[in-house]
Structure 1
Amino acid sequence: MTVTANAVPTTDHYIALDEHWSTHNYHPLPVVLANGEGAWVTDVDGNRYLDFLAGYSALNFGHRHPDLVAATTAQLDRITLTSRAFHHDQFGAFCRELAELTDTEMVLPMNSGAEAVESALKVARKWAYQVKGMPDGTAEIITASGNFHGRTTTIVSFSDDPEARADYGPYTPGFVTVPYGDAEAVARAITDRTAAVLVEPVQGEAGVIVPPAGYLTELRRLCDEHNVLLIADEVQSGLARTGTVLACEHFGVRPDLVTLGKALGGGILPVSAVVGSRDVLGLLRPGEHGSTFGGNPLACAVGRTVVGMLATGEYQERARTLGARLHGRLDELVGNGVDAVRGLGLWAGVDLSPGGPTGRQAAKALMERGVLCKETHGSTLRLAPPLVISTADLDRGLDAVVEVIGR
């Protein structure tokens, strides 16, 4: 693609460039973003939009939060990568501070959320063989229908989303999937081969699905009874999105392992981690698992700043207060263009009624009104504004939602 002399590239130019040169593994809205600050982004033509997606919760603190930019800039002036072949001065402090924030005992830093989930699956199997005494190669992990834990070959092996799973076989064995929210199904699925139960406390990609009362508590009880690990995937739900550090806190449940990502990188770079029990994570020995970039100095410096911001409780409180406002406004639409609204904190899934706009049509109509969000599964909008959004801007965005989907 070329641009004629003195011509200013436009939205159409950038979209054509992307469509010609990039793999079509996403279906983005026709907007080309160039700048962002707080809850606002600006496209290449100078149009401003409220970000009501927040990078699927990776931007909990908004775009270019000054504290996070300052931490990044300071670390860029020092050192950015060492590999884990050497110690560096940010690593141990990051692990300690994240463990204290999440009330856990040990931290395994990685990069992407999917990598954190893969790491948790690996160490759960190691625990099953070395601690539980299961025969090598027999460990099974129970998962939930409607799950989304990433798109690696192993993870899509236990997905029931045909778009994520089709044409990628042969699939990794060792997983048993049961309906989400059905603790009795988990109880029936547990056998002497079961190493762990992997579950999202709130299913994000599925449409912000909140489990029924008592579900996670019963999973914890079943895992304790059968000597099985409970793994909570909090890549999307964790780090203040639902109004608590971990969504599991809403249900009074403490998992053995928790996967974190997205917001842990402050919207600056990929940072993820598995946090949990020393009895499990402490089984890993040198050479058994690793990552060149996992726990690098830049990632740790940003992650430490995120942890420090969350330690004040300010963002959890914002998620609770603004979340109540979000859900109050959305609940008024039920029966008026909306079939159902679900969620916790500043996070909602909105099921659009048949006969109205599809999810894609609604997202495009909102874009035209200066609000960016994304559909899932055809007829559900996911709303997750940055936790730094002002009350006035939240209302402005919700006014547009009411205009587009209300009847």
Structure 2
Amino acid sequence: MDALPKTMRSLVAPKHCKPAGYTVVDLPLPEITDPADVVIRVHAGAIMFGDCQRAAGSVLTTQFKETFPMKLGVEGAGVIAAVGRDVQDFKVGDAVYGLAATRPIFTGPDHGFCSEYAIAPARVLLPKPPHMTFEEAASLCGYTVTAYQTIKRGLEIAGVDSLEGMTVYIPGALSGGGFSAIQVAKNVFGAARIISTVSTPKIPLVEQYLPGLVDQLVDYTTTNVADVVPRGSVDFMVNTQLATLSPGIPLLKPRTGVIASIASIAPSSLLRELLGPDRVPFWLAWILDLAQLWYAFKLRGTGIRHEFISGNPEIREDLEKVGEIIATGKVKGVFRAVDLEDLESVRSECEKVNSLKGGIGRLVVRVKA
């Protein structure tokens, strides 16, 4: 491989700001300081809601000091350009993809997958399937890991090992969390029937992107889901948005229903695991745990169980299973792509991610043609 350049182009937040403030600048290449890390020549990176929240300076990220410019993107795909001395599973020239969200988060260097070069621990990477584009690979790992672990945990709560024979409600069919969860629920865990929602313009797109997977599709902008889904008819809900949890509760079977959520308020114990115990002050822990009492209140008088799950790519057994799921086509990418240097489009599409409105699937930033 050719010698690496000294600088690279990178999508950054120059200060705490919304997507309108993002810009592309020249920065030094990342250097390997951890012998288990690799440097990746990025072909495509992905932006998720957490990137936008961190850049904006959410209440969670104010608990530690940020450095600017902040490189964006913790997920992507590319070709390994350099390896640390302890890396054994990959070599220079290997095509890889992955999600570099290690715990506690935000404690190491910015990974910067929306840059020409990124740095990541080898343990959270997977070999890119030869038949898959870098753009699709960049769109898949994070939400597929989350969907797999979320449904797996929900089944553990239910005391079963599959969704066979079950009706599953997954709102937001074409959201990042929704499209992944629908495919995992049906193609991996064998859900019998899937109910989902989208807005009016996206109705014809669901069969295009998720052919044969959604059995009942509801236009949430014109129809109340409770008017068309019988009360107490849903076995399992994968909650993908904060606003959909409460309306979903009456749909669940009151004695046995399970809500496995990727969009709830985390308990303080989980946030301490995510951020580190010294980054969760007493007042924040108190608020988070008070919210858990609110969930218990919402479920009072039922046997419905609810748990918030945060995807963790460092569980290697799960990550390798997800790699198999992706490589065999059981989960396919739903994404839109923009070029790194098309800053106007990058900002516009990042705002859709930030507002959780208007986008289809994942936002992928093409870095190298």
TM-score range, shorter chain: 0.3 to 0.5
More strand by share: 2
TM-score, length of structure 1 as denominator length: 0.34
TM-score, length of structure 2 as denominator length: 0.37
Q: Based on CA coordinates, which of the two structures has the bigger radius of gyration?
A: 1
